[in-house]
Amino acid sequence: MKNVFGWSAGEISNELAEWKLPPYRGKQIAEWMYRKGVLSFKDMTNLPKDLRERLAGHYGIFRAACLDRQDSSDGKTSKFLLGFADGTAVETVLMRQPYGNSICVSTQAGCNMGCAFCASTLHGMERNLTAGEILAQAIHIQEVLREEAPGQKVDTMVIMGSGEPLMNYDNVLSFLRLCHEDYVMGMGYRNITLSTSGIVPNIYRLMEEDLPVTLSISLHAPNDALRSRLMPVNRKYPLAGLIEAGKAYGDRTKRRVTYEYILIDQVNDGEEQARELVSLMRGQLASVNLIPINPVVERNLYRPSGQRVDWFEKYLAEHHVAVTVRREMGADIQAACGQLRNQHME
C-alpha cells in the first residue's frame, strides 16, 4: 500500500488522474493530512464516501510514532525520538526561543560523514529519509505545540539534525518545497536554515534553485590539516573550494552564510586558529557561530573554559568578523544529535 504522506497536492492529483477526479481533490486530501492532521481517509468529510473508501483500499497515511521524549528542566527544549514503520528512528528537537519556536530536523537515519565530534555518526548511516519522513518530524512538533497552547506553531526551522542534507538532496528539496506550501506549513524559505558539512557540488546546485534558504556550513577548523582530521569530508572537498562555494552562495542569494565552528579545548581554539579563521572570512557575506562542544563520551573531546570561549569570540570581533556564540539549550537532555537514538540502540 502506497504511503501518500509526503506527496504534494500536485503529486496526489497526478496519481489519481486515472480515476478521472478533478485536480482540486489532491489539494483537499493534502490539507486534511498536513493542516488538520487526519490519518484516515474516512475522516475526510468533504470527499464523496465512495472515493474515501476507494482511497483507503489503495493508499495509506503513515507518519511517525513518538518512541521517546525528553524535556529540559527549564522547559525550553524538547527532544523527540520518532520511529517509522520499518523500525528506523530519528531525532527531532524543539527549541522555544525568545523569537519563536524553532525546530531541528534530521534528514538521514544516522550519518556516515565520520565527523570526530559527533554522536550521529557513531553507528554509521542506516538510510536516507524520504521527504514525507522529514516532514513528519515537523508536523509532529507542530501538533505538540498546538496542544500546548492555541495558536502556537513552528516559526523557524534548521535542517541540522542527524545526517548530511546535501547527500539526500532530492528528498530534502522536496521537503523544503512542501513546507513552503500554504496547505502544509506555509513556512517562508527565509525562515529555514540548511546545514551542510561541505558537499561543494550540491551547494552550487542548491544555489541554482533560487530559494532564499539560509546556508550554514559546518567549518570547525580553519586549515585543511586540522579539518581533515576532524571532518573526513574535507579530504574530498578541501577548504579553498568550500569557502569559494560559500561566497558564491552568499553573493547569489544575498543571504548571509553562517559558518558553524565547534570550539574544542586545545584542538581548534587557539590564537593560530583564530588568526586563520579571520583570514578565511575576509571579504565574505558571512558570520561565524561559535559552539562550545557538547561533549560526546565516546569521542574524548572537551569543552573549553568560558574564559577561552570569550577570548576567541573577542578576537574575531576585534578583527571585524561577525560572530555569535550559540546559546546552550538542552544540555541536561543531551540535545546533541544522535545521543538519544544511540541510547535506544544499545
Q: Is 78 in contact with 140 (CB distance < 8 Å)?
A: no
Q: Roughly what angle, to the nearest 10 degrees, separates helices 200-208 and 239-253? A: 10
Picking from 331, 291, 327, 333, the residue whose alpha carbon sits closest to that of residue 309 is 291
Q: Is 200 in contact with 237 (CB distance < 8 Å)?
A: yes
Q: Catalytic pick from 104, 111, 118, 337?
A: 337
Q: What DSSP line would sit under 216-272, residue for residue?
A: EEE---SSHHHHHHH-THHHHS-HHHHHHHHHHHHHHH--PEEEEEEE-TTTT-SHH
Q: Catalytic pick from 91, 133, 260, 313?
A: 91
Helices in the chain by DSSP H: which ranges? Answer: 9-15, 24-34, 49-58, 131-148, 169-180, 200-208, 224-230, 233-236, 239-253, 271-281, 306-318, 339-345
Active site residue 91: yes
CA distance 174 to 219: 26
- Give me the active site residues, please: 91, 337
